[in-house]
Chains A and B, each alone.
Chain A
Amino acid sequence: MSVNTEKKSAVLKERRTFDVGSWLIPFVAVLVAMFIAAVLMYLQGASPLTAYTSLLKSAFGSAPGIGKTLGKATPLVLSGLAVTIGLRAGLFNIGAQGQLISGALASAWAGYAIHGLPMAIHLPLALLIGAFFGSLTGLIAGALKAYRGIHEVISTIMLNSIVISLVDYLASGPFKEHGQPLTRTAPVLKSALVPKFFGLPLGFFIALALSYAVWWVFRRTTSGFRLETVGRNKNAAWYAGINVKRSILIAMAVGGAVAGLGGAVETLGITGRFEPAFNAGLGFDGITIALLGRANPLGIIPGAILIGGMRAGAASMQFDAGVAPEIVDLLMALILFFVSAPLLTRWLRRGKGAASSVTGGWGS
């Protein structure tokens, strides 16, 4: 494990990012996962058909439903994007969760504690503060990787737990709403709330624009090429004059900022205040979404909407079919499994599928 980056990287020759082949694979992965979940529901005595119909109807069947779905999808697009940026640069950032929560709390604080600003300043400021603290959280993992060779999977998981404790302390202590028993901050001022746009959350469009921007940066700019080269062959990147350490720092900082923005958009657009339980799991969903989208900044959008819909419809699914809303967690896990395991690839391509590798061993 890698602790000794230089030596190990000499062994690792090349990393491939995903075999950006058939888009059929994510599609089939979702179907297979839904089928298995259906079997489990059936075994629990619920009707899968009722459950899925209810899910579909409540998530996509009405304008408010779609609004809610897109609202749920917004932080998912952003956390998926955070993981994607890491994957492109050869890093497996599974700390989007911590980065997102940092951003959520920081933006909530900026939203309730800063007074007297017009919306045109307050809202962007609160969003930026959220992104900044997300970025900081990511940067810590980046620095640990670049300077101490600590694998980002471990450091980001540890940082997730540290951040969760820290925000819990802050939300139940210094940042706690006065005179309330609950662990939560005061509500965000009106001037920092993300408005709706024809009934649709504006945050969603910010997320879309950001996805496009990231896609464009990777496709057209030298910065994107730098990160991607580091992700694909660190040795060749270093040899060609690319500062590998700086690239790791940038990828983690930018990824963290995007995740932090996800937390901020969620806080300022949906929940209106910070409460620890609000954001549970959003960052982990980002892993599934990024892999489902084949680490393509635009490809993650449909996956995020799909999973946003599941999250949005889970409550009514429980009401109509008696299925626990945690079925969505299970679905996500199954989707992740089927989309990453090469068996689907092999099956769909009759054995031609290449094994995909993003991270190599500890040494990466």
Chain B
Amino acid sequence: MSQLKSKRNYLLIAVAAVFAYFYHKDGAVTTSVVSTAISFGLPLALAAMVGIMCERTGIVNIGIEGTMLISAFAAFFVASTVKSIIIGLIAAIVVGMLAGFLLALMAVSWRMDQIIAGTIINILATGLTSFLFKQGHTLPSAMPEIDIPVLQNIPFFGPVLFMHGPITYFGLIFIVFLWVALFHTVWGLRTRAVGEHPGSADTAGVSVLRLRYLNVTLAGAVGGIAGAFLSLELVGSFERGFTAGKGFTALALMIFGRWNPLGALAAAMFFGIAQAVTNQLMIDQVVNIPQQFVNMLPYVMTILVLAFAAGKVRPPAAEGQPYEKEQA
């Protein structure tokens, strides 16, 4: 364990050193790359939180992609129709919770195969958004960037961390909050117990089904916020197939981060940096590779990450298995 920690510390120092070097060479570009990396990484990180909240209670959620897609859609079209970003955001959260609830219904109550249940959510979301999609909508206004006073003036860290849209701040705070909740609250203890050994929680008077419903539905809300971030804050529009596999990549990040919110956040930021750096290299024409190969990057990285993590991580033990009270 301590060996692992020191390994991680060395890695962090190395990363910091690299950034310091580039910042020293070209402050403006480095700042913008890192700031972009956060914007690229955040939706992945939030989506990974959806996975963590579900899997820690023993529910596999492969429907994150669909949850984000349909929430991004709802956010954009509601916001552009009623001319209110806030109501768009609320719509995304509601739709996300509905998707989560539907997954809970299929996986917890109907005891369906959880992979199929998640796939149904993905295909339903694709079908619905593709049918309801209409060209020509625009947002009433862009999501405002909120620059935190004083803090934004810190060199490098100011622009990187404190000049973002509201969902970015929320997301980063939420991830830390989830980490605290998972490991230091009653909810977290019960959630982990249900995901590892539902019988132990059940016999201790914790309702397995209720907690699973709660977590999967709340996770849906987080997925809704991730979707709203994409359509309202990051891009400001919506297209068919808008989420482009982020929900699946998030599952890989969840695994790579060992079902730990901070681990998944780090993994997501790594993905974000990889993409931001690649983009910058393309802009500077340092490298000249076809755009399609750049597009492939996150997918190839996802597979590599999983291949690397294979056999080294232990998922929650009760994952994927419906709970039957009679067995207890």
Contacts and interface: CB of A to CB of B under 8 A. Distances in A.
Contacts of B300: 158, 162
11 contacts: A1-B319, A4-B313, A8-B315, A148-B310, A154-B62, A158-B299, A169-B293, A333-B124, A333-B127, A336-B124, A361-B315
Give the size category of B's interface with A. Answer: 35 or more
A281 B155 CA distance: 48
B158 to A, nearest CB: 36
Contacts of A362: 60, 315, 319-320
A45 interface: no
Contacts of A330: 127-128, 130-131
Contacts of B290: 169, 173
Interface string A137-163: 000000010001110011101110110
A329 B112 contact: no
Given A165-B295, A341-B110, A359-B116, A326 B133 contact: yes
A159 B248 CA distance: 11
Given A3-B255, A158-B245, A332 B319 contact: no
- Of all A-B residue pairs in the complex, the 9 with the closest CB atoms, nearest first, are A361-B320, A333-B127, A169-B292, A330-B127, A329-B127, A330-B131, A165-B292, A158-B299, A326-B131
Interface of A: 1-4, 7-8, 11, 40, 92, 94, 144, 148-150, 153-155, 157-159, 161-162, 165-166, 168-169, 172-173, 284, 287-288, 291, 324, 326-327, 329-334, 336-337, 340-343, 355-363
Contact of A356 (B112, B123, B248): B112
Nearest to B313: A3
B309 interface: yes
B128 A150 contact: no
- Secondary structure at chain B's binding surface: helix, strand, loop or mixed? helix
B307 interface: yes
A158 B299 CA distance: 5
A140 to B, nearest CB: 9
B248 A158 contact: yes
Nearest to B110: A342
B123 A288 contact: yes
A162 B248 CA distance: 13
Contact of A363 (B116, B120, B130, B320): B320
Given A11-B317, A329-B130, A92 B302 contact: no
A172 B293 CA distance: 13
B297 to A, nearest CB: 9
Nearest to B123: A333
A155 B304 CA distance: 10
